[in-house]
């Protein structure tokens, strides 16, 4: 049985170079024009998964990530030749990191004829997705209020 095509191996290496580990290489479909790989941060971040969906076109050209900041959880719902549907776990403000209570929000993406990635549905807010900093970056620290005794 032959191994993965070179474009898939290149895509997996590209994800790894960005500090993420591909969750399931089987989501890369070489027969499609649009390819998607979900990567989890390997940085010990406290958010359960700290995931990004990485989109590739054609023979492995990186189009970019699904969102500007990684989400706590990204799930691939389905794919077609030039489309992908992702689901984001949705958190209420008081939910612990382990347990999103508001279900999932589906967001569809499509590759345009000009090879631009188009988001077709509204994206849940950063807070609802528990978006955080990219792998290797330090989370933002809340400023200490003036006059506070907090060290």
In a domain, 24, yes or no: yes
- Residue 104's pLDDT is 98
- Residue 41's pLDDT is 85
In a domain, 135, yes or no: no
- Residue 42's pLDDT is 67
Per the structure, the count of domains in the chain is: 1
In a domain, 11, yes or no: yes
Look up the pTM and report it.
Answer: 0.83
In a domain, 134, yes or no: no
Q: Show the low-confidence residues of the chain (pLDDT under 70).
A: 1-3, 42-49, 134-151
Q: Residue 7 has which token pair?
A: 């474009």
In a domain, 143, yes or no: no
Residue 132 contacts residue 67 (beta carbons within 8 Å): no
Q: Residue 132 has which token pair?
A: 């955080």
- Can you spell out the DSSP letters for 17-60? HTTEEES-GGG--TTSSEEEEEEEE-S--SSS--EEEEEEETTT
In a domain, 150, yes or no: no
DSSP β-bridge partners for residue 20: 41
What's the domain range around 119? 6-129
């Amino acid at each position: 049985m032959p191994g993965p095509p070179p474009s898939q191996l290149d895509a997996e290496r590209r994800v790894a170079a960005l500090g993420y580990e591909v969750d399931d290489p089987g989501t890369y479909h070489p027969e499609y024009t649009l390819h998607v790989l979900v990567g989890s941060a390997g940085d010990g971040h406290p958010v359960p998964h700290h995931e990004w969906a990485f989109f590739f076109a054609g023979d492995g050209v990186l189009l970019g990530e699904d969102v500007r900041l990684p989400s706590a959880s990204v799930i691939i719902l389905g794919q077609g030749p030039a489309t992908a549907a992702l689901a984001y776990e949705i958190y209420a403000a008081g939910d612990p990191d382990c347990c999103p209570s508001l279900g999932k929000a589906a967001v569809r993406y499509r590759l345009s004829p000009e090879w631009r990635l188009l988001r077709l549905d509204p994206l849940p807010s950063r807070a609802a997705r528990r978006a955080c900093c990219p792998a290797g970056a330090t989370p933002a620290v809340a400023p200490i209020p003036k006059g506070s005794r907090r060290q």
